[in-house]
Every structure is written in structure tokens, then in C-alpha cells.
Structure 1
Amino acid sequence: MATLARLQARSKFVAQQYYFRNSVVDIFRKKEYDAAVKIQSWFRGCQVRAHIRNLHRVATIIQKWWRSYSGRQEYQLIVKFASCAMKMNLYNAMAVRIQRRWRGYRIRKYCFNYFYLKEYLKAVSETNDAIREALEEFAEMKEREEKKADLEREEKKRDYQARKTHYLLSTKQGPFRDITEVLEQRYKPLEPTLWVAEPISELKVAREEFRRQEWMRDVNDNMFLPFSSYHKNKKYTPLMHSSSKYGPNSYGSQHFRDENPKKWICDKDFQTVLPSFDLFSKYGKLYSKAGQII
């Protein structure tokens, strides 16, 4: 019983110690866990970095060996092409030298033979001289033919002019004037005189135009009033033409014959355009028998 009493008396203290020790253990356990995690992370980081360094080193070695191999291959190709180009240049130079020697020998032996060329040029010069003489003779012959043809044309022209102007020797136009002047005067266009230039019915046309203008100018202001006697009481004013003390004008009814416009072949009346007096129309333009202008 005494032991039980002692245990009961110490139960509170034991419980406190239990909880205290458990809390201390938990605190140390967390610290230890954090320390272990940190150690593991550092170690694993060292491993990864070491592995990456190893990979970089190995990759560098592989790249170095590959680049050296590819460089050697490319250099071998360049050397090969350069050697081929040098060989081709050498072969071409040798071929050109051989061709130059052969062509020079062939030209000197077969083409540019001095004596052969001398004979050839001599024959060419003789042929040219013969052709030149023949051409000169042909040119002289053509020139003589052209001169002969020109003389024949001139003779025909003189004969034609003589046949065309032989009548001038006995006419009043005179034989001492230039042929061109005589022909110009002969074929000069007609120049009607003042007597025939104006139409015969000029006065009639002027009167009709005057009447038409007068009719257009006159305006009747008197209003017409139907069914009224205003206009009946107005005094009649006779025309001046009919109320003159000298009587009506007989122009066109007694002194001249009547005209019927319906029988005209054109819209206007006939107008004379040819001169009626040859003497007055050619006054001062002809020669008399004595050779003076009349």
C-alpha cells in the first residue's frame, strides 16, 4: 500500500516528465530531420554537378575529335581540287604551247607563202586595172548617150514651142514679148467690167429688200376690235406710190417684159457675168499693130 501511495504521489511528476521529454525529443527530432535533409541535398547537388562536369568534358572531347576529323576531310578535298586545277592548268599550258608551235609552222609553210602571195596580188591588180578601164569606157558611153538624149529632148521641146507659138508672129500680141508673158496673158482668167459685174435686176432686188425691211419696222399699235365701228370711222390713207400727182410707177409693167418665176430653172434670176463689150474690157491690156499698148 505504501508503494502504491508513493506511486500515486509521484504520478503527476512522472506525467510532467513524460510530456516534457516527449516535447524535447520532438524538437530535437525536427532539427535532426532538417539537418539530414540539408546534408542530403548538398551531397546530391555535388553528385549532379560532378556528373554534369563529366558530361561536359566528355562532350568537349567528342566535339574535338569530330571537328578535327571533319577538318582533315575538308582539307583533303581542298588539296585534291587544288591539285586537279594545277594539273589542268599545266596541261592547258602545254597544249597551248604545242598548238602555237604547230600553227606557226603550218601558217609559215602553207598559208603565208611570200612568192605565192606576190603572184596572187599581181594578178588581182591586173584584173582591177582591166575592170576599171571597162567601167570608164562604159561611163563615157553612158554620158554620150545622156547628152544625145538631152539634145533630142531640147530639140523636141523647141519644135513643140514653135508649133504652139507660131501664130504669135502675125498677131497683135507681138513677136518681141516673152513667151511666158504672152501665155500668161492668153490664159488669164476673165475679169468682167463694172457694167456686167452687177446684175440687171439689182434695182428690183434693192426695192424688195427695202420693202421687206419697212414691213418689219412698221408696227400697228391700233388694237383690232371686232363687232365695233371704231375702225370703220378711220380715214383711209392712200399709198404714196399710188397717190402721187405724177401717177403710178410703170417699172416692171410697161417698160419691161413680165417675168414668171415658176419657169425659172434656179432660185435666182439670171445674171450676166461675161463682158458684153470686148473693146472696153481689154482696154490697156493689148498691143496695137504698131506695138504700143492701147
Structure 2
Amino acid sequence: MATVVRILDQSSTVVNEVFDRNRIAEDLRHREFDASVRIQAWFRGARVRAYIKFLNRCATIVQKLWRGFLGRAVYREIIKVQVMIMRLNYYNAMATKVQKIWRGYYTRKYIHNYYSRKQYLEGLMIKNSIVRQELSEYTEQMALERQQKEQEEAQRKLEAEASRKHYLISTEVVPGIYNSPFKPYPDEMEYILRSVQPRPPDKPKPKRENRSGIIIPESPPLPLTEPLPPIGQKLQGPFRMPAEVQKQRYKKLQPTLRVQTSFTSVEEAREAMKAKEWVMRVNDNIFVPFTRRHRGYDPLLHTTSAYGHLPYGTRYFREEDLEQHITDQRFRGVVSPIPVFEKLNDTYSKGTETIPGNPV
């Protein structure tokens, strides 16, 4: 009975202490929640970063091995090519050396023989002397022909001059200037004047204009024509002939192009073109525009596949393998759940999990 009395005396103090502890726990609840969220975020970030680092290291190892394999394959090909080139160069050098030795031997024995060369040079000297003699004779002959042509040209010019001055020839009564009575014999020009014929008179020069100098063509002779018929009776005054007036009055109509063209000429030309096209064409299937074709829709290849549509797009953009996810039961929430949300079958944070048997 004494214990009950003592507890009743201390009841007010116990109640106050309980309320104080609850108030302190309520004040520290948000701070503990933020701290737990931050610790979980850091831990999960470290776990993801470690996993990404592990994947990068694995990818690096795979790439290193694959690139090493490709590099060794390329290196082997390069070595093969270099060995082949080295062998070809060696074989070419050996072939060149053999050809050099053989050509030197063949040249010294058959081409550049000393005695045959000496004999060739002696024959060449004899041939050169013969050619030089023939060239000298040919030069003398050409000089004589050139001199003869010059003499003939001079003689022709002298005869032309004598023909032009034929009026200076001597006569029996009056001696010319080339047949002077004071000389014992006549001049050579006198004999030339006697041997040539006088030059015919020059043709009349064509008429030219005084300023421009253009040759005025001679007018052709007038043709001989028949005499004109007599002029008939003509009306006096500004009148036309009756036949012309009659022709003007009864002339044919001259319609315009618009009147001559048919009103349906375009449709007739189109029908004629269609008829000609129908006769000339090879294929009887008439081309129909796409808007007038009544045909079913042909689906695409990837939509008609027997294995379903392709795994590409917003739904199947990233492939997931759930077997590689870390689902160890050791990673659990460390913060106790809140009783209010526990009644609703949910916790305050999605990352936490209710552990059975833990006190609230």
C-alpha cells in the first residue's frame, strides 16, 4: 500500500518527464530523418559509382584484348607485306646484277668490238669523203643554175625594157640614140631593140571616184528590146480602172484567225492525241495517279515480321537484366518506421523497409 501511495505521489513527475522526452524526440525526428536520407543517398551513390567503375574496367579490358588482337593481326599483315617487298627488292637487285654482267659481256664481245669499230670508222671516213665530194659538186651545180636563172631574169627584164622603149629603134633615115654615127658600131641595146616586138598599148584604166578611190564599174551595154506598145485610152482625173474597182468590190472574205479557228479546237486536238497515244502505246495499263488508286495498304517489313516488332523505341530503348541487380537482404533501412504510415502499409521513405520485431 505504501508503494502505491509513493507511485501516486510521483505520477505527476513521471508524466511530465514522458511529455518532455516525447517533445525532444519529436524535435530530433526531422534531423535524424535528413541524416538517414543523406547517409542512404551517399551509400547508394558510392555503390552505383563502384558498379559503373567496375563496368568501365571490364569494358576497358575487353577493348584492350580486342584491339590487341586486331593490332597483332594488322601487324602480321604488315610484316608479310614488308617481307614480300624485301624479297622482291632482293630478287630485283640480283636480277639487275645478272643483267649487268651479261650485258657488259655481250656489249664488249659483239657490239663494241675494237677491230669492227676501227673498220667501221675507216669506212665512215671514206663515205664522208665521197659525200663531201658529191655535196661540193651539187653546190657548184646549184650555183650554176642560180647564176643561169639570174642571167635569164636579167635578160627578160632587159627585153621587157627594150619592148617598152621600142620607139627608140633606129631607122634608115634617122639613127637612134643607141646607134650613134660617131661610134664605129652600134650599141648592144640597138640589137636587142631590133630583136623584140613593141609592147602593145595599155588598156584604158578604170574610172575611180576622186575622193574614195573606188573603181566605178563600167555600165553594161543596153540590151536590144522591142519597142513599147502604144499607150491606150486612159481616164482623166483621180479615177481607177473599172476592172480594178470590180475586183475590189467582189474580193473574197478574209476572216481573222479567231474566226478561222474552231471553238472546240482544244478538245478536238486532245481527243486526237489520246487516239494516237492509244494506237502507239505498247502497254495497255493506263497510268493512274496515286490519289486515284484503290489498293490495300502494304505494311512495312518490321511490322509484318513473324517475331513481333523490333525492340526499338521509347518502350524498348534500354535493355535491362534483372539478374545482375544487387538484391542482398543485408542492405536494409536503419531508421524505424513511423507508426502513422505503418498503419497505411507504407513508410515515410521509399528507401526504407520495415523490419519485423523492431520496436517503434
TM-score scaled to structure 1, two decimals?
Answer: 0.42
- Of structures 1 and 2, the one scoring higher in RCO (CA 8 A, sep 6+) is 1
Q: Which has the larger radius of gyration?
A: 1
Structure with the largest fraction of helix: 1
